[in-house]
Structure 1
């Protein structure tokens, strides 16, 4: 993710050398917004994987508890 941030920033700075300053700041804001969206998506994927992992773990734990503590 950080590579994407740096590469986007470098690309915009190279493109902005021949453009006036206000457009340069506008492009930086756009790049930061895009990187924020990328970061939120990565965070969302991590949270989903975390929830899935513990959901599967709980299923196996319940199955183990039924086998271990079975009466009779």
Structure 2
């Protein structure tokens, strides 16, 4: 996940990482937040928060419950 206006981590780097993971059959989803820089208020949109929470729920919950 990155912003398309990120001036710290180039959006193309996120795309390359996503493509490399997919090529190795590692699950990956690449989200781009339109107009977002590396940090700021754009990251507090409800849609963005939902994506982050879903990712954490799927990847951090105890799989043995």
TM norm structure 1: 0.30
Please state which structure has a larger fraction of its residues in strand: 2
Q: Per residue, is there more helix in 1 or in 2?
A: 1
* Greater RCO, CA 8 A, separation 6+: 2
- TM-score between both structures, scaled by the size of structure 2: 0.31
